[in-house]
Amino acid sequence: MVHVSEFHPGKNLSHSTTSKVLLLCLIVFLLPVIYLFFANSSSTPWLNFKFYVDNINQGKKCNMFKGKWIPSRQEPYYTNATCFGIHDQQNCMKFGRPDREFLKWRWKPDNCELPPFDAKCFLEIARGKSLAFVGDSLGRNQMESLFCLLSSVSNPEYVFHKTNKFISWLFRDYNFTLASFWAPHLVKTIDAGPNGPTYNRLMKVYLDKADDSWETEIETFDYVILSAGRWFYGPQIFYENDEVIGCHECKRDNIEKLSMFYGYRRVFRTTFGTLMRLERFKGVIILNTLSPPHFENGEWNKGGNCNRTKPFLKKVKGLDGGDLEMYLTQIDELRIAQREGRKKGVKFWLLDATAAMLMRPDGHPNHYGHWPHENVTIADCVHWCMPGPVDTWNEFLLQMLRMYDS
C-alpha cells in the first residue's frame, strides 16, 4: 500500500483555468521570437532545440544553450524560507553565505530570449504525467530545484517507498509525479571497500547491468532525465558478464588497467539500451550533460575552494582533460542511441547546460553547505546553491517541453 502525506502548503490551480494557462504559456513562448522578428531586419532568429550539438549559423538560428550571463533585477524564484525541500548541502543561505551577487544574473542565449520559469505553465504541460531524475547528486540538485519551483503553486505530497534510493512526490492538483532515483553510476554497483574513505572508495561497477533501483520502476515514467559524471573519477573494478575485465585506479597488479572513459561509455550504452528495451517504456530520455566543478587554489582534497562572487562575463576557458572527454563521450553515445531510438519510436533530448555552468564559478556552496563548527574541511565546488544558477537548468527544461510537448 502506498502512503501519502502532505509535504507543505502551496497554491492550487483549478481545472477550469487549464486552457487559459496553456494560452499564456504559448504567448510567453512566442513573445521573444516576435520581438526578434521585428528587431532583426537581416533574418529571423528561431529557437533551435535539436537534441544534438550542431555548429549554429549565428543570425539564422538560436541555440538556447549558447549565450552569456547578464545582470538581472529578477528576484529568486524561492528562498530557503519558502521552500523546505532544499538539501542542506545546497542550502547556502541557511548556512550564512554573506553575498547575494550570484543571484543577480540570468542566462541570455545568443539571438533569442530564455523566458523566466513559469510553474503553472510547466504543470499544465506535465498534467497527468511523470518525470524521474536518475543518477547522481547533481541530478538530485536539479530535481530539488524543480521541486521548489513547482511547490510555489501546488502542494507536493510525499509518497512513501520501501527504499531510500527511490523518492517521489505527487502534485495532486495536476496528477503530476516528480521522482528521483539514486544511482550515481547508473548501473549496478557494489562497495568493494566499505571501510575505505568516503570520498575515494573502491567500487565494483557492473557495466552491462542497469541499477535495479530504477530499472524495475521506470517503465511508466513519461520523462527520464539522466545525470552521471563525477563518481567515475574514483577507483573502480569493471565487470561484464559477472567477470572482472579491468579496473581504474584500483591498485591491483593482477587486473588489467582500463581508463574510466571505457567504463563511462559502456555505462551510457547500457543505460540507453536498457530504456529502449523496456517493453512498456514510451517516455522521453533526456541527457543532462556534465556539470563542471570550479576548484581553485588547490585540488578538491588539497585545499581547493570556489570563493568567486561573480560569473565569468566571457569565456575564459573550455572543458579540458577528463571532463572534456566525458562530455564528448556523453554526446557521442546519445547520438548513437538517438539513431537506434528513432527505429523504435523512443525520443532522446539533450539538456546541454555545460557551457552555461562553466561560466558560474560563483554558484557553488563552497563552505556554506554546513555550520562552521562542523569542521568540514573540503569545499563543495561541485554542487550548486539553491536558489542559484541551477534553476536555469529547469528554465531550459521548460522550454524543451514547450517546444516538443505543449
| DSSP H or E run through 324 | helix 321-344
The amino acid present at 66, given as its one-letter code, is: K
160 contacts 4 by C-beta, under 8 angstroms: yes
Q: Quote the CA–CA distance of 242 and 212 in Å, as a whole number.
A: 15
| Cα 223 from chain centroid (whole Å) | 13
Between 97 and 4, residue with greater pLDDT: 97
Q: Quote the CA–CA distance of 295 and 263 in Å, as a whole number.
A: 25
Q: Which range, of 3-17, 40-54, 353-367, averages the lowest pLDDT?
A: 40-54
pLDDT at 244: 97
pLDDT at 406 over 70: no
pLDDT at 49 over 70: no
pLDDT at 155: 92
Give yes or no: 373 in active site: no
Model confidence, pTM: 0.86
Hey, how many other C-beta atoms are within 10 angstroms of the C-beta on 366? 19
Between 8 and 120, residue with greater pLDDT: 120
One of 227, 367, 383, 391 is an active-site residue; which one?
A: 383
Cell of 349: 533530448
One of 130, 137, 154, 168 is an active-site residue; which one?
A: 137
pLDDT at 39 over 50: no
Residue 315 is classified by DSSP as: -
Q: Give the confidence band of 18 by pLDDT, cuts at 50, 70, 90.
A: low
Cell of 198: 568516503
Average of pLDDT values for 225-241?
96
Give yes or no: 151 in active site: no
Q: Quote the CA–CA distance of 283 and 3 in Å, as a whole number.
A: 26
Between 215 and 405, residue with greater pLDDT: 215
Determine phi and psi for 286, rounding to 5 degrees: -120, 125
Cell of 51: 537534441
pLDDT at 37 over 70: no
Average confidence score pLDDT of the chain: 86
333 contacts 291 by C-beta, under 8 angstroms: no
Task: Give the residue from 158, 161, 177 showing the smallest Cα distance to 222.
Answer: 177
One of 136, 173, 380, 391 is an active-site residue; which one?
A: 380
Give yes or no: 380 in active site: yes
Between 7 and 311, residue with greater pLDDT: 311
Q: Give the confidence band of 173 by pLDDT, cuts at 50, 70, 90.
A: very high
- Within 248-295, residue ranges assigned H as helices are 260-277
311 contacts 69 by C-beta, under 8 angstroms: yes
Angle, CA of 61, 293 and 117, to the nearest 5°: 45
| Cα 9 from chain centroid (whole Å) | 25
The amino acid present at 269, given as its one-letter code, is: R
Question: What is the C-alpha radius of gyration for the chain, rounded to an integer number of angstroms?
Answer: 21
Q: Quote the CA–CA distance of 58 and 63 in Å, as a whole number.
A: 9
pLDDT at 307: 96
| DSSP H or E run through 24 | helix 18-39
Q: Give the confidence band of 317 by pLDDT, cuts at 50, 70, 90.
A: confident
